[in-house]
Amino acid sequence: MASAPLISPSILSADFARLGEEVRAIDAAGADWIHVDVMDGHYVPNLTIGPGVISAIRSWSDKPFDVHLMISPVDAFLAAYAEAGADMITAHPEAGPHFHRTVQAIRALGKKAGAALNPSTPETVLDYVLDELDLVLVMSVNPGFGGQSFIDSQLRKIGALRQMIDARGLSTLIEVDGGVNPVTARACVDAGAHALVAGSAVFKGGPEQYRANIAALRGQ
Structural fold of domain 6-217: TIM Barrel (3.20.20)
Is residue 76 classed exposed, middle or buried when 0-12, 13-18 and 19+ CB atoms within 10 A define those classes?
exposed
Q: Quote the pLDDT of residue 2.
A: 62
pTM for this predicted structure: 0.95
Query: Catalytic residue at 131?
Result: no
Residue of 27, 32, 37, 134 marked active site: 37
The answer to the question of whether 41 is labelled as a binding residue is no
The answer to the question of whether 177 is labelled as a binding residue is yes
SS3 of residue 208 by DSSP: helix
Alpha-carbon separation of residue 218 from 7, 67, 90, 116, 123 (angstroms): 8, 21, 23, 22, 25
**Triad 140, 118, 56: Cα angle to 5°:** 85
Query: Catalytic residue at 177?
Result: yes
SS3 of residue 185 by DSSP: helix
Residue of 32, 40, 134, 177 marked active site: 177
The answer to the question of whether 68 is labelled as a binding residue is yes
Q: Quote the pLDDT of residue 143.
A: 77
The answer to the question of whether 120 is labelled as a binding residue is no
The answer to the question of whether 146 is labelled as a binding residue is yes
In order along its 220 residues, the chain shows pLDDT tens digits of: 468 999 999 999 999 999 999 999 999 999 999 999 999 988 888 888 999 999 999 999 999 999 999 999 999 999 999 999 999 999 999 998 999 999 999 999 999 999 999 999 999 999 999 999 999 999 999 877 666 789 999 999 999 999 999 999 999 999 999 999 999 999 999 999 999 999 999 999 999 999 999 999 999 8
Q: What is the DSSP letter of 94?
A: G
The answer to the question of whether 200 is labelled as a binding residue is yes
Comparing CA positions, the residue from 109, 92, 86, 76 lying closest to residue 35 is 86
